[in-house]
Amino acid sequence: MPNIKPISDFRNYYDVFAEVHENEPVYVTKNGRGMYVVSTIDEYEEYQRLKAAMWLKAELERTEKRDEREGLLSEDELKERLNIK
């Protein structure tokens, strides 16, 4: 079950942070609506790694589809596009 706290609890922020555990982030609300998530640094770093990996995978898939559609450039075509002699 999610750990949900109103932002007013941050008057005693140490108590809120003490409730943050691995794989158990604290969800912070303001006026009953979700505003923030407090998690451990390790979880945040893992989230960033996963986000970057997902972005890279999507870019690779997009590039592969474009290559299938448009084909690859030859060395001469690439040099011409880059104005390399």
| 4, two tokens | 């949900």
- Please spell the DSSP secondary structure of 40-76, one letter per residue: -HHHHHHHHHHHHHHHHHHHHHHHHHHHHHH-PPPHH
pLDDT at 29: 87
Partnered with residue 37 across adjacent β-strands are 27
* Residue scoring higher pLDDT (1 or 74): 74
Residue ranges per domain, the chain? Answer: 3-39, 42-81
Q: Which residues contact 79 (CB under 8 A, 6 or more apart)?
A: 85
Nearest by Cα to 39 from 54, 23, 59: 23
Report yes or no on whether pTM surpasses 0.75: no
**If you ran DSSP here, which 8-state letter would residue 84 be given?**
-
7-46 confidence digits (pLDDT tens): 787 777 777 778 888 888 888 888 989 888 889 989 999 9
